[in-house]
Amino acid sequence: MSGPLSGRLWSLHPKPHDEELLSSWLVRLGRAYGAKPTRFCAAVWRHPSFWHRDIDKGIYEPVLTVLAEKTATPRARVLDTTLRGYAGFPKHELYHNGLSPRVLSIGLRNGRRQRYWLQYCPYCLRDDDDPYFRRHWRLTFVTVCQTHCCRLLDRCTVCRTPCNIYQLPSDAVTLTQCHRCRFDARRAWAPALNGSADHHRVMQFQTMLVEALQRGWCPLSPAESVSTEQYLAVLQQLGRLLITRHRAHELRTGFCQHLGEPFFEPSFPSPGARALEVLSVADRFPLMLLLGWWLDDWPDRFVAMCAMAKLTITDLGRDFLHPPDWYEEAVEQVARGRFAGMPFASYGMPRSVATTSAKSQLLL
């Protein structure tokens, strides 16, 4: 591309905002020149299919290098717009073919992103002087906005289209507009959290996980911390138990009844696509509610509920190639039946759980 983009430093080079996602920054850079994001990126990187890959992973070095040089932004700051910039993110997972664990799937088909790969809080966008999309909105376990105590959205609330901000036309007033129907995401309404202990736990759990990604370690208990990579691997394993394994429906039924939460049935885009990374935020929110509760008070609640659900070593270890020692120790407790026959009150559970009916206990 000739003109203002051809020199050593671009004449217009807005810097990334705090916690801004790479995709969002690239869209803003293109808009600064009045260009469609697709045309801008194709011209700069000489790649007509630039958006046919998940650039937010941060694994494409030429993209990072050009941005650092042309916008006078330190490379470390450029990297921090990507998922690779998280200190605790398992880097090898970003290079997986197809799905990358813990990253919302773009679902590329016919050159377009078909899945709900980008979430947002309409109130955050509304509060921004210059609206932008946050990096943590690409993570599967992120489902709420702590600032506005609401659930996130993952599509246009009018036409239900994914937030494909890279498809915005050059005359769009703001990057918060839907590329298809032009509805402004800042006008959307997001469901508020109800202030219950369960919803508060979801926010605390999410905050803990995001902070763990940033520093590389995660608190397992008041007296012990483990690597973020290990903790996320266990979270992924338990998530599969609740949504894709043969007893997933039964487990969700029992867990939801114990918590007094509505039952939910995850809606997958196709029979062959059954993974946490393809689920909508509406399905991932109750899933994270259950997982946050199950992993709380480690390992007592985990062991107790596994015993009540009659989960076996095979159930807990299936397809888990390198389980951490602390997880295997808890699984061994399940195998030994350490909590067998003990009343719910012995597990330190809420009184409402201790008085759950015999019928709901049988469902587990």
DSSP-derived secondary structure for 42-94: HHHHT-TTGGGS-GGG---HHHHHHHHHHHT--HHHHHTTSGGGSTTS-GGGG
Helix or strand or coil: residue 238?
A: helix
Beta-bridge mates of residue 145: 150
Helix or strand or coil: residue 300?
A: helix
pLDDT value, residue 8: 86
| Greatest pairwise CA separation for the chain in angstroms | 76
pLDDT value, residue 3: 53
Consecutive 10-residue runs of the chain (364 residues): their mean pLDDT? 66 96 98 95 94 96 97 97 97 88 93 94 98 98 97 98 96 96 98 95 97 97 95 97 93 94 93 90 98 96 94 93 96 79 39 35 32
Measured from the Cβ of residue 63, the count of other Cβ atoms closer than 10 Å reads 21
User: Using one digit for the tens of pLDDT, what is the confidence trace for 301-354?
Assistant: 999 999 999 999 999 999 999 999 999 999 999 998 855 444 333 333 443 333
As a three-state string, the secondary structure of 202-216 is HHHHHHHHHHHHHHC
Assign residue 160 a region (left: φ > 0; alpha: ψ between -120 and 50; beta: otherwise). Answer: left
From CA 230, how far away is CA 61, in angstroms rounded? 27
Single pTM value for the model: 0.91
pLDDT value, residue 271: 81
Structure tokens at 16: 């990334």
**DSSP characters over 97-126:** SS--TTB----EETTEE-S----B-HHHHH
User: Using one digit for the tens of pLDDT, what is the confidence trace for 322-337?
Assistant: 999 999 999 999 998 8
Structure tokens at 237: 């394993």
Q: CA 192 → CA 144, 145, 219, 264, distances in Å?
A: 9, 10, 28, 18
Looking at residue 279, the DSSP 8-state letter turns out to be S
The structural domains of the chain, with segments of one domain joined by +, span: 22-85+104-138+154-187, 197-363
From CA 355, how far away is CA 105, in angstroms rounded? 40
Which of 124, 1, 115 has the alpha carbon at shortest distance from 54? Answer: 115
Looking at residue 165, the DSSP 8-state letter turns out to be G
